[in-house]
Amino acid sequence: MDVQLSEDHLALRETLRTFVDREIRPVAREWEQAGRYPTEIVEGLRELGLFGLTVPAEHGGLELDLVSMALVFEELSRGWMGIAGVLGTHSLSCRMIAHHGTHEQRARHLPAFATGERRTGLALTEPGAGSDLQGITTRAVRDGDHYVVSGTKTWITNARHADPIPVLVKTDPGAEPAHRGMSVLLVPTDLPGFEVSRDLPKLGYKGPETCEIVLDEVRVPVDALLGGEEGHGFQQVVSGLEVGRVNVAARAVGVAQEACDRAIRYAREREAFGRPIAEFQAIQHKIADIATQTQAARLLTYWAADKVDRGERADTEAGMAKLFASEVALEASLESMRVHGGYGYSEEYEVARLYRDAPLMAIGEGTNEIQRTIIAKGLLRDHTAGGPM
């Protein structure tokens, strides 16, 4: 058993660290607070080839393993979690198209997605249905060579930069069970009736836009149906969720690590009662706890990623990693804020951003309440006494 990163993984991590130190850290606080889109950083992501993370090499992508993907999302999130969001749903949708798209769909979309010349996102959630995706109401009605699509999607990250965007729809609303009547359409965003109607105001996760999309009788050519056959949309979407959960877990590890690093640095520098606060046991215990939890979250995340890389079923493991790491990010950012005292509550220090960014990881990619259900189902299905390793 080997819990060390390989030479390739270490080299990738070093490249990311250099990029984050040079391109992200110097501007993150100012741009985040100004609500400025990180155009120059996105250009840097393109130059590194990171839009092709999950795109097969035959279509010009990096085709990285999932441990590498976790490293990318962890390191970017140490600098600014919002930047990871620019790549997040793009990478998931590329992977979904690579796995489930027709030959023609892969050839048409993946090369441009790999270079970042075109980008994408993923439109699942609706005002009335998030956790319960089978409850969506966006409808696609076949009309000759087109589907006529109507409905509203909400909380869609990267919506203004996506073209086409995979949209989960109902092609047969009467199907039982409901998921058999669901499909994914790769909707071109310049079609009449497609409108990104507003940007949603967010607590954190600034940088990428998160929007509402209205589809008003959008006529989508039938060749946009992912995989070419109706009724597989739900499976196509959930088959990528393990990867999405590792992605979110890795972002949470990055936020937690940054919170920990900043707590240690501040505790060494700040003096009270004539000595550095690092000398107080109360502060030492906070640092010990968050550093230990962060490393545990990291190992859980790499373990889940490695299991997916080995081709094994990993829904329970990815759920555990996402659940644990996101709770650690919440805890670590709050404890780091406490170590910073009043300055932790100031937007002039980075720890405030970590605290605003952390909760998203407990909500996105399946809330932590849903993760617990998934983990319990997996354990009740597969459990063997003595634990998983």
Ligand X SMILES: Cc1cc2nc3c(=O)[nH]c(=O)nc-3n(C[C@H](O)[C@H](O)[C@H](O)COP(=O)(O)OP(=O)(O)OC[C@H]3O[C@@H](n4cnc5c(N)ncnc54)[C@H](O)[C@@H]3O)c2cc1C
Which residues are known to be catalytic?
Answer: 365
If one asks whether residue 178 binds ligand X (CB under 6 A), the answer comes out as no
Map residues 209-238 to x or -, x wherever contact with ligand X holds by CB under 6 A: -x----------------------------
If one asks whether residue 363 binds ligand X (CB under 6 A), the answer comes out as yes
If one asks whether residue 130 binds ligand X (CB under 6 A), the answer comes out as yes
Name the DSSP letter for residue 181.
G
CA distance linking residue 176 with residue 349, whole number of Å: 52
Q: Please answer whether residues 260 and 209 qualify as being in contact, where contact means their C-beta atoms are separated by less than 8 angstroms.
A: no
CA distance linking residue 205 with residue 192, whole number of Å: 30
Structure tokens at 94: 């590329």
Which CB atom, from 123 or from 255, has the smaller least distance to ligand X?
A: 123
**Contact range with ligand X by CB under 6 A, out of 67-75, 125-133, 138-146, 241-249:** 125-133
Kindly state the smallest distance separating residue 104's Cβ from ligand X, in Å: 25
> Quick one: which of 77, 120, 157, 326 contacts ligand X (CB under 6 A)?
157
Which CB atom, from 116 or from 207, has the smaller least distance to ligand X?
A: 207
> Quick one: which of 20, 156, 169, 305 contacts ligand X (CB under 6 A)?
156
**Contact range with ligand X by CB under 6 A, out of 9-17, 29-37, 56-64, 151-159:** 151-159
CA distance linking residue 112 with residue 117, whole number of Å: 5
**Contact range with ligand X by CB under 6 A, out of 4-12, 124-132, 225-233, 252-260:** 124-132
**Contact range with ligand X by CB under 6 A, out of 22-30, 183-191, 277-285, 366-374:** 366-374
Task: Residue 246: count other Cβ atoms within 10 Å of its Cβ.
Answer: 31
> Quick one: which of 12, 72, 114, 124 contacts ligand X (CB under 6 A)?
124
Size of the site for ligand X (CB under 6 A): 21
Map residues 190-209 to x or -, x wherever contact with ligand X holds by CB under 6 A: ------------x--x----
Task: Residue 278: count other Cβ atoms within 10 Å of its Cβ.
Answer: 18
Which CB atom, from 91 or from 294, has the smaller least distance to ligand X?
A: 91
CA distance linking residue 10 with residue 29, whole number of Å: 27
Number of Cα atoms under 13 Å in the Cβ half of residue 267: 22
Kindly state the smallest distance separating residue 336's Cβ from ligand X, in Å: 22
Which CB atom, from 121 or from 233, has the smaller least distance to ligand X?
A: 121
CA distance linking residue 358 with residue 140, whole number of Å: 36
Q: What is the DSSP string of 116-172?
A: TSSB---B--BTTBSS-GGG---EEEEETTEEEEEEEEEEEETGGGBSSEEEEEES-
Touching ligand X, residues 64-123 (CB under 6 A): 89, 121-123
Please state the three-class secondary structure of 5-17 as a single string.
Answer: CCHHHHHHHHHHH
Which CB atom, from 124 or from 224, has the smaller least distance to ligand X?
A: 124
Q: Please answer whether residues 149 and 186 qualify as being in contact, where contact means their C-beta atoms are separated by less than 8 angstroms.
A: no
Kindly state the smallest distance separating residue 15's Cβ from ligand X, in Å: 27
Q: Which residues contact 222 (CB under 8 A, 6 or more apart)?
A: 142, 145, 146, 147
User: Omega of the bond prior to 56 within 30 degrees of 0, cis?
Assistant: no
If one asks whether residue 24 binds ligand X (CB under 6 A), the answer comes out as no
Which CB atom, from 296 or from 370, has the smaller least distance to ligand X?
A: 370
Q: Which residues contact 370 (CB under 8 A, 6 or more apart)?
A: 131
Q: Please answer whether residues 20 and 48 qualify as being in contact, where contact means their C-beta atoms are separated by less than 8 angstroms.
A: no
Which CB atom, from 207 or from 344, has the smaller least distance to ligand X?
A: 207
> Quick one: which of 360, 361, 362, 375 contacts ligand X (CB under 6 A)?
360
If one asks whether residue 364 binds ligand X (CB under 6 A), the answer comes out as yes
Q: Which residues bind ligand X (CB under 6 A)?
A: 89, 121-125, 130-131, 155-157, 202, 205, 210, 360, 363-364, 367, 369-370, 373
